[in-house]
Amino acid sequence: MRFTSKLPHVGTTIFTVMTSLARELGAINLAQGFPDYDPPERLKELLEKSVQTGHNQYAHMAGVLELRQAIASKLEVSYGRRIDAENEITITLGATEAIFSAIAGLVHPGDEVILLDPSYDSYAPAVILAGGRPIHIPLQPPSFRVDWQRVRDAVTPRLRMVMINTPHNPTGAIIRPAELDMLAEILRPTDAFVLADEVYEHMVFDGAKHASIVAHDELFERGIATYSFGKPMHATGWRVGYAVARPEITREIRRVHQFNTFSIAAPLQHAIADFLREVPEHSGQLNDYYQRKRDLFLGALRGSRFTWTPSEGTYFQLLDFRQISDATDVEFADRLVRDVKVASIPVSVFYETPPKLSVVRFCFAKTDSTLEQAAERLRRM
Contacts with ligand PLP, residue ranges (CB under 6 A): 33, 94-96, 120, 165, 169, 197, 199, 228, 230, 236, 241
How far is it, in rounded angstroms, from Cα 110 to Cα 88? Answer: 27
Residue 96 Cβ vs ligand PLP, minimum distance, rounded to whole Å = 3
Residue 116 Cβ vs ligand PLP, minimum distance, rounded to whole Å = 11
Judged by phi (left if over 0) then psi (alpha if -120 to 50, else beta), residue 200 lies in: alpha
User: Of 97 and 334, which has the nearer Cβ to ligand PLP?
Assistant: 97
Q: Residue 306 has what DSSP assignment?
A: -
User: Of 46 and 199, which has the nearer Cβ to ligand PLP?
Assistant: 199
Q: Which single residue brings its beta carbon nearest to ligand PLP?
A: 94
Amino acid at 69: Q
Q: What are phi and psi of 240, to 5 degrees?
A: -120, 125
User: Of 180 and 199, which has the nearer Cβ to ligand PLP?
Assistant: 199
**For residue 14, how many other CB atoms are within 10 A of its CB?**
18
In contact, 370 and 36? CB cutoff 8 Å:
yes
User: Of 91 and 273, which has the nearer Cβ to ligand PLP?
Assistant: 91
Residue 337 Cβ vs ligand PLP, minimum distance, rounded to whole Å = 20
3-state DSSP assignment of residue 3: coil
How far is it, in rounded angstroms, from Cα 62 to Cα 88? Answer: 10
Residue 314 Cβ vs ligand PLP, minimum distance, rounded to whole Å = 7
User: Of 100 and 220, which has the nearer Cβ to ligand PLP?
Assistant: 100
User: Of 92 and 250, which has the nearer Cβ to ligand PLP?
Assistant: 92
Task: Give the Å distances, CA to CA, from 296 to 9, 33, 371.
Answer: 38, 18, 8
Q: What are phi and psi of 92, to 5 degrees?
A: -130, 170
How far is it, in rounded angstroms, from Cα 132 to Cα 103? Answer: 9
Q: Residue 225 has what DSSP assignment?
A: E
Strands (E), the chain: 28-29, 89-93, 112-117, 133-138, 159-165, 193-197, 223-228, 240-245, 316-320, 342-343, 345-346, 359-363
Residue 196 Cβ vs ligand PLP, minimum distance, rounded to whole Å = 11
User: Of 193 and 324, which has the nearer Cβ to ligand PLP?
Assistant: 193
Task: Give the Å distances, CA to CA, from 81 to 2, 163, 215, 277.
Answer: 52, 21, 6, 19
CA 131 from chain centre, in angstroms, equals 23
User: Of 138 and 230, which has the nearer Cβ to ligand PLP?
Assistant: 230
Residue 268 Cβ vs ligand PLP, minimum distance, rounded to whole Å = 12
Amino acid at 302: R
Task: Give the Å distances, CA to CA, from 120 to 242, 291, 352, 373.
Answer: 17, 22, 11, 28
User: Of 236 and 260, which has the nearer Cβ to ligand PLP?
Assistant: 236
Residue 206 Cβ vs ligand PLP, minimum distance, rounded to whole Å = 20
Residue 304 Cβ vs ligand PLP, minimum distance, rounded to whole Å = 26
Residue 241 Cβ vs ligand PLP, minimum distance, rounded to whole Å = 4
